[in-house]
Amino acid sequence: MKFKLSLSKTVLALALVAAGAAHAQSGEPIKVGLAGPFTGGSSPMGVSMRDAIRMAVDEINAAGGVIGRPIQLVERDDEAKNERGVQIAQELIHREKVVAALGFINTGVTMAAAPMYQEAQVPIITPGPTGTALTQQFPGYVFRVSLPDSIQADMIAEEAVKRQGFKKIAILADSTNYGQLGREDMAAALAKRDIKPVAVEKFNVRDVDMTAQLLRAKNAGAEAILTYAVGPELAQIANGMSKLGWQVPMIGSHTLSMPNFIENAGKNSEGAIFPQTFVEGQTAKGTAFVANYKKRYKLDRIAAMGWAAPGYDSVYLLAAAIKQAGSTDGPKLRAALENLKEPVDGVLMRYQQPFSKDSHELFRDSSKALMATIRNGQVVKLADSK
């Protein structure tokens, strides 16, 4: 009898705890859009970002949600296609009624979709696209936590010209908006250092033979190759140089950290140099994030760390804005993001008013970024990089 009574009390206590947790999140879910390339050539970046965002959302919901409401992700695969990004934006805004959006990897997709979010006054916090013009063209509701190409290009040029002393440089870039806008930024960064490229070569996505472009760069006397492309084609460049028996440094944008570059190029990826915003072991919270991510998804390594870490942080930045605003109203969220009063502990850094009315860029110069390289198939900090 005593046992039955004790058991009943235990069940009642557990029920009250469960009821309290449910009451803490009794409001309607806060619907947040999540878009990115979860299939195709850019998928290592998209999936790494998506899974980190999912992890952050689950952590926040387990702690009671935001303003008494759980966050609900509404996910869509944009396949790295501009027209698909536009379609998704319309669906998320008008049918799903999302209050904010996270994600995006590709500059072209973001540029195509951003006008709809801007018009609907739905904030975007994005850890992916790096096209310099993005926040200039859409200054109202796009907040970026990735490293703009203008800063990346300057870091790349500084590495090639000042630190390594190269004078004869070739630029190889793909024909996408990402590649060509990056090429323009790279040429401008070199011009600031009185360097004119000896060769500027273009190729298409899914090209598998870079021999012609590489031979022109080689014959022009290039001492280094600067790149703007994504993983599979970057691997074709590295493997193409190896086949020609031509070994010069490969220095490029952060996409050189993509697993489909490292894996497809194998030993030919070793020593490639690129800007990064996060490497494993950079911060205490970052170390815990990596460990938790690997455990949750049963992985030996995160495929695309440079997109997973800022993706995770973007959720906490949005949650902080919702909490401060006490609302999910778009203009109020924008105002909160522009003037976050409380610091946010993230993986990349401890955020202290990361955005302002005048700038929706987290990175305004290279002081919070670093140069990284490939060593034994892993992304590590380049020696002597700040």
User: Tens digits of per-residue pLDDT, 248-287?
Assistant: 999 999 999 988 899 999 999 999 999 999 998 888 899 9
Predicted pLDDT of residue 184 = 95
Query: Is residue 241 domain-shared with residue 376, that is, in the same domain?
Result: yes
Residue 12 counted as domain residue: no
Query: Is residue 247 domain-shared with residue 376, that is, in the same domain?
Result: yes
Distance CA(220)–CA(7), nearest Å, equals 83
pTM comes to 0.87
206 token code pair: 């899914």
Q: Read off the pLDDT of residues 295-339 as tens digits, 9 standing for 90 and up.
A: 999 998 898 999 999 999 999 999 999 999 999 999 999 999 999
Query: Is residue 190 domain-shared with residue 143, that is, in the same domain?
Result: no
Rg over alpha carbons for the chain, rounded to the nearest Å, is 23
Query: Is residue 126 domain-shared with residue 209, that is, in the same domain?
Result: no
Residue 244 counted as domain residue: yes
Nearest to 128 by CA among 147, 142, 113: 147
Q: Read off the pLDDT of residues 73-91 as tens digits, 9 standing for 90 and up.
A: 999 999 999 999 999 999 9
Distance CA(216)–CA(201), nearest Å, equals 8
Residue 57 counted as domain residue: yes
Looking at the structure of the chain, the number of domains it has is: 2
253 token code pair: 């944008």
249 is in which domain, residue-wise? 150-276+371-381
**Model confidence band, residue 130 (pLDDT cutoffs 50, 70, 90):** very high
Query: Is residue 178 domain-shared with residue 250, that is, in the same domain?
Result: yes
Residue 124 counted as domain residue: yes
- Amino acid code (one letter) for 246: W
Query: Is residue 264 domain-shared with residue 377, that is, in the same domain?
Result: yes
- 260 close to 277: Cβ distance less than 8 angstroms: no
Distance CA(31)–CA(99), nearest Å, equals 6
Query: Is residue 323 domain-shared with residue 216, that is, in the same domain?
Result: no
Distance CA(141)–CA(314), nearest Å, equals 14
Distance CA(240)–CA(269), nearest Å, equals 12
Pairing of strands 370-375, 378-381: antiparallel
3-state secondary structure of 169: strand
At which residue do the structure tokens 């379609």 appear? Answer: 87
Query: Is residue 177 domain-shared with residue 236, that is, in the same domain?
Result: yes
Q: Read off the pLDDT of residues 336-357 as tens digits, 9 standing for 90 and up.
A: 999 999 999 999 999 999 999 9
Residue 365 counted as domain residue: no
**Model confidence band, residue 6 (pLDDT cutoffs 50, 70, 90):** very low
Distance CA(218)–CA(254), nearest Å, equals 24
Query: Is residue 115 domain-shared with residue 164, that is, in the same domain?
Result: no
Query: Is residue 41 domain-shared with residue 126, that is, in the same domain?
Result: yes
Residue 13 counted as domain residue: no
Query: Is residue 53 domain-shared with residue 128, that is, in the same domain?
Result: yes
Residue 23 counted as domain residue: no
Lowest mean pLDDT among 171-180, 186-195, 241-250: 171-180
Length of the chain: 386
Nearest to 67 by CA among 312, 343, 329, 319: 319
Residue 265 counted as domain residue: yes
Query: Is residue 42 domain-shared with residue 86, that is, in the same domain?
Result: yes
DSSP 9-74: HHHHHHHHHHHHHHHHT-SPPEEEEEEE--SSTTHHHHHHHHHHHHHHHHHHHHTT-BTTB-EEEE
Pairing of strands 169-174, 124-126: unpaired
Q: Read off the pLDDT of residues 105-123 as tens digits, 9 standing for 90 and up.
A: 998 899 999 999 999 999 9
Distance CA(337)–CA(334), nearest Å, equals 5
Count other Cβ atoms within 10 Å, centred on residue 382. 19
| Buried/exposed code over 94-118 (b: 16+ C-beta within 10 A; e: otherwise) | eeeebbbbbbbbbbbbbbbbbebbb
Domain harbouring 327, CATH code: 3.40.50.2300
